[in-house]
Amino acid sequence: IVGNGSEQQLQQELEDVLMDPSVTELVGGPDHLGGPSDLSPGTPVPDEDSVVFSKLTYLGCASVNAPRSEVEALRMVSILRSQCQMPLDVTLSVPGVSEGTVRLLDPQTSTEIANYPIYKILFCVRGHDGTPESDCFAFTESHYNTEIFRIHVFRCEIQEAVSRILYSFATAFRRSANKAPLAAKAPPLTPDSDVFTFTVSLEIKEDDGKGTFSAVSKDKDRQSFKLRPGMVKKIVIYVQQTSNKELAIERCFGLLLSPGKNVKNSDMHLLDLESMGKSSDGKSYIITGSWNPNTPQFQAVNEETPKDKFMYMTTAVDLVITEVEEPVRFLLETRVRVCSPNERLFWPFSKRSYTEIFYLKLRPVRMSSNTERKSNSDTLYEVVSLESETERERRKTTASPGILSCGSHDNDEPLLSGSGDVSKECGEKILETWGDLLSKWHLNLAVRPKQLPALVRNGVPEALRGEVWQLLAGCHNNDHLVEEYRTLITKESPQDSAITRDINRTFPAHDYFKDTGGDGQDSLYKICKAYSVYDEEIGYCQGQSFLAAVLLLHMPEEQAFSVLVKIMFEYGLRELFKQNFEDLHCKFFQLERLMQECIPDLYTHFLNLSLEAHMYASQWFLTLFTAKFPLYMVFHIIDLLLCEGISVIFNVALALLKTSKDDLLQTDFEGALKFFRVPVPKRYRSEENAKKLMELACSMKVTKLKKYEKEYHTIREQQEQQEAPIERYERENRRLQDANMRLEQENDDLAHELVSSKIALRKDLDNAEEKSDALNKELLITKQKLVESEDEKRRLEEESAQLKEMCRRELDKSESEIRKNGSIIGEYKQVNTHTLTHTSLCVFVQMKVEGCEKCSILFSKEGRLKVISTRKEGSEEDTDEEKEALKNQLREMELELAQTKLQLVEAECKIQDLEHHLGLALNEVQAAKKTWFNRTLSSIKTVTGAQGKESV
């Protein structure tokens, strides 16, 4: 749990928070959700001993690479809080025991949304006060048997309740379901209560030529595996815990194999892991790796062995256990015999596996209030010893309790150089203070500001380190070195092979330097090469690359080279690399005298162990702590070095010895060396631990260095005067042997780093191959889609051409129909005109007839001829001539009327015929308008018309 104080302080502060009514409203007890009747059908009932929190918002989850890093967790909290688009209201149920499960519930229906067992939760964190994330908290969880970690982020409506939620998580991590009442006394621990027993079995399988692998047999008398040469094999390891509280195995860190017995770590060869995980019954953890015996490193166990002889083979498996700080290595030494290919293997044999019992002794880690917690169980352990049953039987004396076991196998891997995250975030007040200081400093670069040392002791802000380091080193006016650097990198270096070899070993854990041939390694190579040519007396020395890498992380390579030259020449570092290492031995003497003055009990203990300073402090002085320690601590040391000089190394060294005194007093010679190599650097991966160490180093006043230097030279002169040449040669020989031992130790360390790098590179290669396969599949799919698209394009082009031709034909047909219909309409208009003319003529004749007195008597209104009654006889003679004239006129008018009626009838018939044709034409036109073809035709006409206008 990462909070803003110790757990005791948190408990005290929560007393007032829990009395706040707003918080009481947020927090419910075990019955807050009601009984089972309140839950929807099929919803699991929350743990009885649990605390339920409402008024929470789930902001989402994301994958993280460092699940126990506070910096990484806070960064993800900030990102998810700012980018969350659809927050989800949830209720959170936190169990009160470590065997319980954290549940996310729907606040409306109390339905379970998700659940996370406590043993899968690795880390909890809350946002810092004064930041937008102060109302947020998060926890990280792991998928079982995988290396995928996720962080879940929540926001609390009532900010003060965040502490209460984290306190509930802490209670769940600490308590067990079967925990005795507080009033009851815990049973006394037995001598072996801190010992965990594991049964580890080894099985070797060979390819039977039928596509399967079968377990090889064992010789009944000699208990040795009987192998065949040239056959591909598999190594299967079964790990089962048989006593004490069960520890959770997270994953296998590595499976290694080597011919021989009592082999060095550097001689072990990493196998390719095929699978890892629990067995179907959940009792064993099984690891399977592939073994190709035809590779050169396994040649010894691939050649036929005489029948009366056998050989040894060593297998190692590194396991990451949740409750243990560092990986644990189980080492199995077995007998093997390589048989003739023609030898029969069906003779009686014993069981096909080799089994060894291991006793792992652990002790709880003394954790400070701000120590980063790896385990989510009740206790976090560190390894005291790991011993097999065979070693117990062979051992005559029992090691003293508390001594770190350092046998032929090493349970821990050292911290890779370049590890650790360094945040660039800094408070506004600190940045303002530094900004004012730099503004004044630039006005007079020759004089350092008075308040500079105090600010540097607290650490230079990461964002300003590049500028501040150049000013502290006096490289603000380094144009001549920059120009010289550009010339030096074009020259050949006599130490080119050593530089190339060390480049891959420098900061392999940092992204900028881990890629072979990448920009980081290229710049680092050029700086080291340039310095080896620039300083021919010293040239390139192992350790310079680490310092150069630190500088490259903050400035361009030309400026980094300039600062490196200043540090080597003006801070006394190059004196340590001179051929006789006289100055380096003087530093060791000074450190031992300071230990005698400040830490006398530890000094005495080292004297009793014959542990000299050069055995553990060489890298401290030669690399300025840059080779093994986390970057946050390394950068702060360089801050102090550039500000106060080489004496800072003594401050940091004494601070390390003081903080580790209690552990070192319990070690033997080998245990102390191992402690300096592995646990000490890893202890300061926590930024809080590193801050406390640097505060202690800055508070220490290292004096009498000049006095101890004179004392050293006086003693050296006396020794040279007194000792005979043979004694001097013997002393020099011892010194060279010590140096050789140190170099061998460094070689072992580098071998460890190489194994770790191989594992990382293998993972990267696997990821790259998977990505390549996925891209190849996508490429094939894309090519197929392209071919299909081209075929579809050709088909559409053909259809378009056919459609254009059909449209042209239909257009011509429609135009002819339109012309035909136009002529019909014209004729119809002419007929209408004639009809109107005849009608008007008839009306005119009728009006004339009606207007004439004589004619109106002869015709009716409908135009019919009336029957005229006979007049009187007296008037007949008078009117004969008149009658005859009228008859003639009447006959003409009747004839004209008959002709007119005939024309009228013909016109009406023609009109009817034209109306019929007109109706058919209109129907055809209307039907044509409704078809898709007509619409297409209209669009084509529109486009054709638009193009014609444009062309005009």
Residues of the chain with pLDDT under 50: 1-6, 10, 13-47, 144-145, 177-192, 346-350, 368-371, 373-377, 396-411, 869-872, 947-952
For residues 549 and 705, give the distance between their C-alpha atoms in angstroms, rounded to a whole number: 30
For residues 516 and 524, give the distance between their C-alpha atoms in angstroms, rounded to a whole number: 12
Task: Look up residue 330 and give its two tokens.
Answer: 């189980």
Query: Which residues contact residue 248 at a Cβ distance below 8 angstroms, ignoring those fewer than 6 apart?
Result: 119, 321, 322, 323, 377
Residue 583: the pLDDT is 84
Task: Look up residue 831 and give its two tokens.
Answer: 């007929």
For residues 90 and 103, give the distance between their C-alpha atoms in angstroms, rounded to a whole number: 10
Query: Which residues contact residue 159 at a Cβ distance below 8 angstroms, ignoring those fewer than 6 apart?
Result: 134, 135
Residue type, 542: Q
What's the DSSP call for residue 248?
A: P
Residue type, 601: D
Give 426-443 as a 3 state SS string.
Answer: CCHHHHHHHHHHHHHHHH
User: 3-class DSSP state for residue 107?
Assistant: coil
Task: Look up residue 202 and give its two tokens.
Answer: 């080894």
DSSP H/E element including 510: none
For residues 66 and 64, give the distance between their C-alpha atoms in angstroms, rounded to a whole number: 6
**Tokens 């019992």 identify what position?**
357
For 557-686, where are the alpha helices, taking DSSP H only? Answer: 557-570, 582-598, 600-609, 614-623, 631-644, 648-659, 661-664, 669-677, 679-683
Q: Give 485's strand partners.
A: none
**Tokens 């082009």 identify what position?**
797
Query: Which residues contact residue 8 at a Cβ distance below 8 angstroms, ignoring those fewer than 6 apart?
Result: 369
Residue 394: the pLDDT is 67
What's the predicted TM-score (pTM) here?
A: 0.41
- Please give the share of the chain, as a percent, with pLDDT higher than 90: 18
Residue 349: the pLDDT is 39
CA distances from 651 to 18, 459, 633, 770 (A): 45, 15, 13, 49
Which of 640, 701, 697, 646 has the alpha carbon at shortest distance from 455?
640
For residues 306 and 898, give the distance between their C-alpha atoms in angstroms, rounded to a whole number: 145
Contact 129, 4 (CB under 8 A): yes
Residue 933: the pLDDT is 60
Dihedral sign (CA 560, 563, 568, 569): positive
What's the DSSP call for residue 493?
A: -
* Helix and strand counts by DSSP (H, E) for the chain: 28, 20
Residue 944: the pLDDT is 59
Which of 118, 121, 122, 125 has the alpha carbon at shortest distance from 2?
125
Query: Which residues contact residue 227 at a Cβ distance below 8 angstroms, ignoring those fewer than 6 apart?
Result: 204, 206, 216, 233, 293, 301, 336, 337, 338, 339
pLDDT tens string 660-689: 999 999 989 888 988 998 889 988 888 888
Residue type, 280: S
How is 65-104 classified by DSSP, letter by letter?
S-TT-HHHHHHHHHHHHHH-SS-EEEEEEEESSTT-EEEE
Task: Look up residue 534 and give its two tokens.
Answer: 């620039």
Contact 273, 233 (CB under 8 A): no
pLDDT tens string 13-39: 444 444 444 443 344 443 333 333 333
For residues 675 and 905, give the distance between their C-alpha atoms in angstroms, rounded to a whole number: 131
Contact 158, 149 (CB under 8 A): no
Within 10 A of 116 (CB to CB), how many other CB atoms are there? 16
How is 581-608 classified by DSSP, letter by letter?
-HHHHHHHHHHHHHHHHH-HHHHHHHHH
Residue 314: the pLDDT is 92
Residue 26: the pLDDT is 40
Contact 314, 263 (CB under 8 A): yes
For residues 57 and 155, give the distance between their C-alpha atoms in angstroms, rounded to a whole number: 5
DSSP H/E element including 580: none
Contact 430, 603 (CB under 8 A): no
For 429-515, list the strands marked E by DSSP.
none
Q: Give 333's strand partners.
A: 314
User: 3-class DSSP state for residue 635?
Assistant: helix
